Chains A and B, each alone.
Chain A
């Protein structure tokens, strides 16, 4: 079995932001708030830590201030270490190239970091998948198959609009990937890539150098698609809960999934916890005549109204007589007295004023942007 101490974790903080423009306007995909108190990066990062990985690089591109304050030195993930630990890798602007265009160029900027890690293997992930993944069997699978690239996929039933945001693969009986479709127009059952890849470090370095001199920048198009026959590319099927956040609708759905206790206990398993930044806020306070059902509530909330089937982040205030249903309410937002907030998403520090009625639908939840007053 591979020693996870010799595995380097890389997380791409800014991938797929175009799919979630509302929530990534002021922040990186990796720091999109999720599930009461988490940021999306907490899922891949905690998965790595729980799998025994002790050195992780976070590759950033833009809007990374909130991500940096969230991660700090990495002590909440036990990654504030003398050796290895957490490193945030800001975009590495090189002469004449500007900010990177794709995964391969981003990796070129991190080449020295990758090299100096001296790891045997590299696990790369994006930050838009909600799952609590044990990476150890995946690295083992890669090692046993002596693969060049292992990609992790899930078997899902997707409508066309979701498939068009994803990379879909075909695997044969030996788990070899024989076809890669980028953003296909298809629906139904398919093998969707979770954008988790395992490679030998030396292989990855070689790939980065070669791609750079051939001006290749997309890992999916230039390597997985065009060079599929040149390499041994294997598919590892992940069959536990995961959700790829590829639209506001899936963000909303994944959040509502957390209300399902079976899913929630798998994602937030006590033995492999999801770590996040600690904010030192007092526990939530319930007032007189409030009613809260089927909801998840973070510390620091003050609830005097009705909350059903909703997710309240830290420090949310629900006024007397206010009604919140099927909604996501992010940190610091205030729903004032007698206001209604139904099938909606409020970003941070929103104020829904007294008596206001905001109603969306599960397919198209209303979104109120950060700091908005409605």
Chain B
């Protein structure tokens, strides 16, 4: 097949387990986790690619890929069903010399050098499927070109006290990175890596191959590739980003990021037509607010049927809330049924669950004396909660109760 050269190809690392989301990622990869009423996390990097004019995206999958593969499909919802380029799901594969799982972020790209080479790109954008943000990668690639860089790393200023949780860059006045420290105890800067990289492909290709030959390497961008390039004085620059960016790697951050869509002061406008976030839409009728419904401060997706009370919550497509049920400060994922009189507070309820009558999930923090005992309660996907059952704060339920 004749491949048309692409200036830029994106590689999206979507194989991670997302183990800190526990029950929510038991049977789906983290990028497939529902977010914001109708999206899945991966919609953000995919839509950013399309909106940035990048039409060739490799999605590297490994952990529990079924939901994710089905979701991406032929890429049509993002306009990535292209004759040249488009979205390609790239799972690990067997070769003549043996089988190999993706053993690190760099190894995953290494194993797909063949895919990238087909498009003979000048630049490769490396993305992850863990973040909620809107970003124009084209501007970052331009910045990379202007600085004649070998690698450009997107950075975000974080509060100093949070810096030890991130990969921290130290950069001089013109943006050149002088130092990189992975989760430093005493950070020298508060510029955190967002896990978004632009590389000149031939340069990255060389480092990937070298890294692969080093048997002691963990084959990871943050641990190996970036330090190696820095050590060899390659031109590496920091690209400042100051928009909304949220890691959704933990239960608390996933809950907060969903609540952010309800907050008019948060600069993430999902209704902004100039930078649409595309998603695979469920084929469902519009939602119905029934005669008994009381809905405020909430986001409700298509196919929902609400007869209960909803406050400060996000209901995904096809959720049913029966009479007398109360959903407050919670996230309810697609097709879940909340029966009469059930109460859901400060909770994340997964897809296709049934919450029985008068069951009680989660608790309000003001009712808990010892704040250490309080946290968001989580019901995993496909769980049935029987009538009057109770799931306390911080509960992590992945089997029927």
Contact = CB atoms under 8 A, between A and B. Distances in A.
Contacts of A290: 295-296
Contacts of B305: 261
Contacts of A264: 285, 288
A282 B271 contact: yes
Contacts of A295: 288-289
A296 B287 contact: yes
Interface stretch (B103-111, B212-220, B276-284): B276-284
B281 A283 contact: no
A158 to B, nearest CB: 27
B316 to A, nearest CB: 8
B76 A286 contact: no
B285 A297 contact: no
Interface in B226-273: 261-262, 270-271
Interface in A267-295: 268, 270, 273-275, 278, 280-295
Given A280-B276, A281-B271, A298-B302, A75 B76 contact: yes
B297 interface: yes
Interface residues of A, number: 37
Given A293-B289, A294-B291, A286 B284 contact: no
Nearest to B278: A280
Interface in B312-334: 314-315
Contacts of A299: 38, 286, 301-302
B112 interface: no
B36 A286 contact: no
A108 B209 CA distance: 66
Interface string B374-390: 00000000000000000
Contacts of B297: 286-288
Contact of A285 (B38, B262, B281, B290): B262
A325 interface: no
B286 A282 contact: no
B77 interface: yes
A109 interface: no
B133 to A, nearest CB: 15
B277 A286 contact: no
A285 B314 CA distance: 9
Nearest to B271: A282
Contacts of B276: 280
Query: Chain B contact residues: over half helix, strand or loop, or mixed?
Result: loop
B76 A296 contact: no
B353 interface: no
Given A36-B286, A292-B293, A298-B286, A286 B281 contact: no
A174 B262 CA distance: 61
B89 to A, nearest CB: 19
B136 to A, nearest CB: 18
Given A75-B76, A300-B271, A261 B288 contact: yes
B16 to A, nearest CB: 26
Contact of B277 (A268, A275, A280, A307): A280
A174 to B, nearest CB: 39
Interface residues of B, number: 38
B321 to A, nearest CB: 13
A287 B296 contact: yes
Contacts of A275: 283
Interface in A74-97: 75
Most central of A75, A270, A315 by chain B CB within 10 Å: A270
A291 B285 contact: no
A273 B279 contact: no
A168 to B, nearest CB: 32
A273 B290 CA distance: 21
Nearest to A292: B289
B304 to A, nearest CB: 9
Contacts of B281: 278, 280
A264 B286 CA distance: 10
B294 interface: yes
A36 B285 contact: yes
A348 interface: no
B86 interface: no
Given A264-B288, A268-B285, A283 B301 contact: yes
Given A297-B300, A300-B271, A35 B285 contact: yes
A294 B290 contact: yes
A36 B301 CA distance: 13
A37 interface: yes
B39 to A, nearest CB: 8
Contact of B300 (A268, A270, A284, A291): A284
Interface string A290-324: 11111111111010000100000001000000000
Contacts of A294: 289-291
A289 B277 CA distance: 28
B91 interface: no
A296 B37 contact: no
A297 B294 CA distance: 14
Contact of B287 (A35, A289, A297): A297
A128 B280 CA distance: 29
A297 B289 CA distance: 8
Contacts of A292: 289, 293, 295
A278 B301 CA distance: 14
Contacts of B298: 285-286
Nearest to B290: A294
Nearest to A36: B286
Contacts of B299: 282-286
Nearest to A294: B291
A261 B287 CA distance: 12
Contacts of B291: 293-294
B287 to A, nearest CB: 6
Contacts of A297: 286-289, 300
Nearest to A37: B286
A307 B38 CA distance: 23
Contacts of B314: 283
B286 A35 contact: yes
Contacts of A285: 262, 271, 298-299
A289 B294 CA distance: 10
B301 to A, nearest CB: 4
Contacts of A298: 286, 302
Given A268-B284, A283-B299, A290-B295, 20 more contacts: A37-B286, A268-B285, A274-B285, A280-B279, A281-B271, A282-B36, A282-B299, A283-B38, A283-B315, A284-B287, A285-B262, A285-B299, A291-B294, A294-B289, A296-B288, A297-B286, A298-B286, A299-B301, A300-B271, A315-B271
**Which 6 A-B pairs give the minimum distances between C-beta atoms?**
A282-B270, A283-B37, A36-B286, A268-B285, A283-B301, A292-B289
Interface of B: 36-38, 76-77, 261-262, 270-271, 276-279, 281, 283-302, 305, 310, 314-315
14 contacts: A35-B286, A37-B286, A264-B285, A275-B283, A280-B277, A280-B278, A282-B270, A283-B314, A286-B297, A289-B296, A293-B293, A295-B288, A297-B289, A299-B301
